[in-house]
């Protein structure tokens, strides 16, 4: 397949714009790779001369394996039992001529197939077999027998084996020359790689490094904690130990790079490996999550270790079929599309080919940035980009009327605890009334599936953010009971790593300035999840959820914030102090995913549980005009949440989830 035809395949109708951009990048990489591959193909003249010599050698060897008497060979011998030289030369001449003509017709020597590749074996074998039969027929049918009758048939497999061996040798030499002279700049060439993970990902990565002639990576061994892989060997590479033996293996094998190539790795192991690699002066790379790679495991996808990688990796499986049923061919609207959660929602939703993806946000700069990541363009005049504030009920209704979405993901919210403690009125107007506006517009225009993105701070609220999001869950539950159509649910989860304004960004900024890094309390913990993992589970929860309920994502074990700070400091290589500032108003030492007395029930997904939500109607909420000052806003939300907490229903063990 040519590069142009491959580019056509990678650009099918309806392919999401983000995927098109990745596909174009892949084809550009293939163009560059094609230039390198040409160096692996010797000249056609050289191949013809080599093959001509192989026919002579092959027929001579076959004659020696099957000699006949001088009478049968019609005297074409130099002596008793000797090779019939004249017949051999005549048959070799016929063979070379026929082989060259047929090979040229099939472009066997002109680069139709990469020399030394599996693709070359079939046409090469076919041509050799045809020419051998032709020689045998001429030899038998002619007036004089030139060779022992079976010689051409014996010669065929000999010539094929020799031709393949020569071609493989040519390819191996060319690969060696490319690696030592054209594979990269001098400091990068032949970097010895120790791979963590001898599973499918690690093995495919090693194969990718070896297949690419321009690769600067040279895999030398695997490390794996799975005892079943202790004696595993793959393409000459062996498992030399567990991850705890990294330092010894790296020094023994003179490794330059450590590559994390496993889908499962604990935070402790990840932290230990990166710290030890830094001590040894070894670079650390990581294979991105499989979801981010459109064409399998390739060494070109390797990236530096990022902050979220320090938390380790746990496998997250989702039922792509059921998610596709929810999204494919339907109109989907995302509020807060320019935010960290909203933008990742848009990117993942786009992969399921919705009929239309409507991206709504009040921040035009955020929409501009989202457009650049989605399709590489920044056309804010696109019909699916909507600049709107969820506080504006009239504007919101107009957007819903124009697009009439089937599925709505409500991610727009104010989320910073300390800021909202100072501005409870803003939290009420956006997180409470804004959510009400979204729910009303969705109901009025027939939305079939509405998902409210909540937070773990809503479980047992102790701050304005938690109060406002708890009420938003109640409003969503109430709509699920009263709308008479569709599914209305909330999805609750903890902190998302590397989102705008997260603690990670704060720590990194403090480290860049030379410190100190400030932590509220040495005992404080938080739940963390990467944004891509959170959104994967949000999409899965959207399919599983029962109307009027909330689904809670399994966030794993809470992470000590001071430990996260220490990991970032170690990764920076700087000596920076940690200072403790004390808990601020509204902050807790430990967050909860479930409220006291809130019974959770299992769902069909092991990382998602369901909880009941007390419904809250709009009439239970005061109008902003009736509230004056921060204390009244805070008091109003606290009162509603108090009422909800005293009315928490129980879920039966066998719930409807």
Residues serving a catalytic function are 457
Neighbours of 481 (CB within 10 A): 12
Which two tokens mark 285? 């790379």
8 A C-beta contact, residue 227 and residue 171: no
> DSSP state, 179?
I
Neighbours of 656 (CB within 10 A): 12
Q: Rounded distance, CA 74 to CA 468, Å?
A: 105
594 alpha-carbon distance from chain centroid: 31
Measured CA distances, 475 to 333, 432, 570, 582 (Å): 19, 8, 45, 34
| 504 Cβ contact list (under 8 Å, min separation 6) | 307, 308, 497, 498, 564, 568
Neighbours of 78 (CB within 10 A): 10
Q: Rounded distance, CA 394 to CA 62, Å?
A: 90
**Strand 237-238 relative to strand 257-260, pairing:** unpaired
8 A C-beta contact, residue 98 and residue 156: no
CA proximity to 402, closest of 383, 388, 389, 387: 383
Give phi and psi for 15, each to the nearest 5: -65, 130
Q: Rounded distance, CA 366 to CA 375, Å?
A: 14
Q: Rounded distance, CA 157 to CA 125, Å?
A: 8
Q: List, as one string, the DSSP characters of 421-446.
A: HH-HHHHIIIIIIIHHHHHHHHHHTT
């Amino acid at each position: 397949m040519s590069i142009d035809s491959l580019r056509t395949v990678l650009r099918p109708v309806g392919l999401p714009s983000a995927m098109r951009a990745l596909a174009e990048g892949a084809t550009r990489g293939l163009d560059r790779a094609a230039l390198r591959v040409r160096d692996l193909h010797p000249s056609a003249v050289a191949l013809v001369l080599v093959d001509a010599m192989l026919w002579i050698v092959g027929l001579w060897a076959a004659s020696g394996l099957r000699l006949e008497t001088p009478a049968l060979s019609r005297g074409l011998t130099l002596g008793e039992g000797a090779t019939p030289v004249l017949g051999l030369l005549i048959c070799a001449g016929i063979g070379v001529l026929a082989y060259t003509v047929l090979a040229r017709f099939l472009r066997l020597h002109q680069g139709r197939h990469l020399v030394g590749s599996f693709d070359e074996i079939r046409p090469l074998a076919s041509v050799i077999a045809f020419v051998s039969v032709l020689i045998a027929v001429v030899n038998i049918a002619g007036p004089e027998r030139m060779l022992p009758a079976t010689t051409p048939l014996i010669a065929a497999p000999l010539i094929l084996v020799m031709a393949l061996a020569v071609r493989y040798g040519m390819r191996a030499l060319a690969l060696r020359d490319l690696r030592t002279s054209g594979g990269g700049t001098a400091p990068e060439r032949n970097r010895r790689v120790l791979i963590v993970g001898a599973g499918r990902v690690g093995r495919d990565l090693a194969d990718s490094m070896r297949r690419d002639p321009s690769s600067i990576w040279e895999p030398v061994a695997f490390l794996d904690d799975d005892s079943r892989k202790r004696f595993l060997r793959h393409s000459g590479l062996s498992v030399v130990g567990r991850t705890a033996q990294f330092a010894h293996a790296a020094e023994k094998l003179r490794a330059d790079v450590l590559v994390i190539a496993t889908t499962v790795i604990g935070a402790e192991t990840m932290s230990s490996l990166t710290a030890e690699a830094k001590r040894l002066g070894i670079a650390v790379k990581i294979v991105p999550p499989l979801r981010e790679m459109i064409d399998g495991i390739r060494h070109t996808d390797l990236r530096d270790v990022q902050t979220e990688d320090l938390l380790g990796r746990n496998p997250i499986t989702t039922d792509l079929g059921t998610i596709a049923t929810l999204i494919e061919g339907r109109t989907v609207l995302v509020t807060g599309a320019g935010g960290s959660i909203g933008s990742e929602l848009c990117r993942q939703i786009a992969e399921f080919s919705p009929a239309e993806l409507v991206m709504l946000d009040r921040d035009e700069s955020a929409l501009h940035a989202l457009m650049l990541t989605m399709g590489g363009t920044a056309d804010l005049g696109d019909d699916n980009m909507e600049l709107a504030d969820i506080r504006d009920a009239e504007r919101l209704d107009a957007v819903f009327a124009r697009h009439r979405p089937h599925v709505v993901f409500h991610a727009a919210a104010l989320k910073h605890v300390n800021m909202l403690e100072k501005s409870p009125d803003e939290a009420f107007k956006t997180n409470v009334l804004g959510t009400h506006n979204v729910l009303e517009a969705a109901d009025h225009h027939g939305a079939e599936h509405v998902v409210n993105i909540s937070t773990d701070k809503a479980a047992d609220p102790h701050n304005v953010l938690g109060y406002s999001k708890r009420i938003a869950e109640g409003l969503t539950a109430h709509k699920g009971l009263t709308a008479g159509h569709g599914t209305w649910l909330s999805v609750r989860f903890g902190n998302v790593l590397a989102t705008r304004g997260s603690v990670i960004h704060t720590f990194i900024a403090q480290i860049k300035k030379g410190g100190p890094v400030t932590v509220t309390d040495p005992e404080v913990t938080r739940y963390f999840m990467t944004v891509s993992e959170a959104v994967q589970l949000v999409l899965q929860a959207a399919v599983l959820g029962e109307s009027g309920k909330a689904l809670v994502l399994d966030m794993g074990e809470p992470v000590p914030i001071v430990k996260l700070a220490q990991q970032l400091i170690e990764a920076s290589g700087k000596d920076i102090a940690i200072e403790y500032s004390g808990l601020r108003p509204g902050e807790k030492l430990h967050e909860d995913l479930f409220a006291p007395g809130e019974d959770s029930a299992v769902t069909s997904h092991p990382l998602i549980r369901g909880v009941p939500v007390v419904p809250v109607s709009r009439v239970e909420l005061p109008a902003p005009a009736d509230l004056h000052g921060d204390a009244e806003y805070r008091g109003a939300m606290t009162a509603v949440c108090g009422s909800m907490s005293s009315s928490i229903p129980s879920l039966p063990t066998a719930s409807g989830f």
